């Protein structure tokens, strides 16, 4: 099996796009497409479902990704072990998009400056997928949102968390975001629009907003790919949206949008209990040292 094809498959899986994957690996999009198709032919399965330009892993693709991660990691370990300076140190960190934008820039800068020999590989995703990736050892640790009590998750059984070390590190104020001309909202019955703009289904913030709305009325969910897209839908008057206060504070839109608090949500740092490395401990120390001295940093 061609390790280059495996690496290309993993980049496409992470980016959900041939075009973005091509830019990352420095190849033409047609070459990326041909490599993926050749891999599918070799395996005899379809790894991606194609919806326009979006590439989504099939059930077989999700299963194969776990093996591809292990195969490429083993190949890297073998190459590094043969180098004179010994094996390279790598930390594979997963994070929600909101945390990457509002909490991690100073952490990652300080970590890289203090530990230049450690290669940091960042994966951005939703809580549900990041948790699965830590459990399956595709990544070493992740920053995820705690699912509140009463909001069950059949897709994330309790047994997964039994395998993990879990530590609260931040607290986010979750907001329902409303168009500037929208009246005040106490319950979902007061919402005059019929749609909620949110990220992918594995996003805990989306699930909290959907659960809150269902108490009094259903809202159609419009799935978008970024917080800027959420805010664009809100400002245009197409939908209400959901995002943390820390993200909204970074988005200096020239309009007086309205908000309604949905409660506080903890951000957790998770790693497998049996896979806690010295590299992780260094990152953990940097993360805690950079928490803001405010009520939004858990002590």
Q: Average of pLDDT values for 25-39?
A: 91
Given 48, 72, 96, the domain boundary residue is 72
pLDDT for the residue 167: 94
Here the tokens at position 94 are: 């997963």
Query: What is the number of domains present in the chain?
Result: 2
Distance CA 275, CA 77 (A): 16
Answer yes or no: is pLDDT of 157 > 60. no
**Predicted confidence (pLDDT) at residue 103 exceeds the cutoff of 70:** yes
Token output for 254: 């020239």
Is residue 207 a part of any domain in this protein? yes
Q: Which domain CATH number covers 24?
A: 1.10.10.10
* Residue 112: predicted pLDDT: 92
Q: Is the pLDDT of residue 255 over 70?
A: yes
C-alpha span between 179 and 230 (Å, rounded): 11
Average pLDDT, the chain: 87
The per-residue pLDDT for 295 is 41
Please give the pLDDT value at position 293.
67
Q: Is 143 a domain residue?
A: no
**Domain extent for 249:** 172-265
Tell me the pLDDT tens digit for each residue of 108-156: 999 999 999 898 999 999 999 999 999 988 899 999 999 887 665 544 5
Distance CA 68, CA 48 (A): 14
Q: Please tell me what DSSP assigns to residue 45.
A: S
Answer whether residue 299 shows pLDDT above 70.
no
Q: Please check whether residue 111 lies inside any domain of the structure.
A: no
Instruction: Identify the domain boundary among 22, 57, 72.
Output: 72
Which 3 state secondary structure label does DSSP give 298?
Answer: coil
Which of 200, 198, 184, 189 lies closest to 239 in space, CA to CA? 198
Whichever domain contains 214, its CATH number is 3.40.190.10
What is the distance in angstroms between the CA of the first residue and the CA of the last residue of the chain? 48
Residue 83: is its pLDDT beyond 70? no
State the Cα–Cα distance between residues 129 and 56, nearest whole angstrom.
13
Choosing from 26, 56, 72, the residue where a domain stops is 72
Q: What percent of the chain has pLDDT over 90?
A: 61
Kindly state the average pLDDT of the residues 277-288: 93
Pick the more confident residue, 85 or 121: 121
Domain assignment of residue 87, yes or no: no
Q: Is residue 184 part of a domain?
A: yes
Q: What count of other Cβ atoms lies within 10 Å of the Cβ of residue 246?
A: 20
For the cut 90, the answer to whether the pLDDT of residue 192 exceeds it is: yes
The rounded distance, in Å, linking the Cα atoms of 34 and 21 is 13
- With respect to residue 67, please indicate whether it lies within any of the assigned structural domains: yes
Determine, yes or no, domain membership for 68: yes
pLDDT recorded at residue 36 = 93
Q: Is residue 84 part of a domain?
A: no
pLDDT for residue 70: 83
Taking the CA atoms of 74, 78, 79 and 85 in sequence, report the sign of the dihedral they define. positive
Q: Is the pLDDT of residue 297 over 50?
A: no
């Amino acid at each position: 099996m061609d390790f280059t094809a495996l690496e290309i498959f993993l980049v496409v899986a992470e980016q959900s796009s041939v075009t973005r994957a091509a830019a990352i690996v420095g190849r033409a999009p047609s070459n990326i497409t041909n490599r993926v198709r050749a891999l599918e032919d070799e395996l005899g399965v379809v790894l991606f479902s194609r919806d326009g330009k979006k590439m989504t892993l099939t059930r077989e693709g999700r299963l194969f990704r776990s093996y591809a991660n292990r195969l490429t990691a083993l190949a890297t370990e073998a190459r590094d072990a043969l180098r004179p300076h010994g094996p390279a140190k790598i930390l594979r960190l997963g994070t929600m998009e909101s945390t990457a934008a509002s909490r991690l820039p100073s952490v990652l800068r300080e970590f890289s400056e203090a530990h230049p020999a450690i290669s940091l590989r960042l994966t951005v995703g939703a809580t549900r997928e990041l948790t699965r990736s830590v459990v399956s050892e595709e990544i070493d640790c992740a920053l995820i949102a705690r699912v509140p009590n009463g909001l069950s998750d059949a897709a994330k059984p309790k047994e997964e968390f039994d395998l993990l070390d879990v530590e609260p590190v931040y607290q986010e104020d979750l907001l329902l975001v409303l168009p500037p001309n929208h009246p005040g909202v106490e319950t979902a019955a007061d919402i005059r629009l019929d749609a909620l703009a949110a990220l992918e289904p594995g996003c805990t913030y989306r699930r909290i907003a959907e659960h809150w709305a269902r108490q009094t009325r259903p809202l159609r969910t419009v799935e978008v790919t970024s917080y800027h897209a959420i805010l664009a839908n809100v400002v245009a008057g197409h939908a209400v949206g959901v995002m943390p206060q820390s993200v909204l504070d970074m988005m200096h839109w020239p309009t007086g949008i309205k908000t309604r608090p949905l409660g506080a949500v903890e951000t957790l740092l998770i790693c497998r209990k049996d896979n806690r490395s010295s590299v992780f401990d260094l990152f953990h120390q940097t993360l805690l040292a950079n928490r803001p001295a405010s009520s939004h940093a858990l002590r």
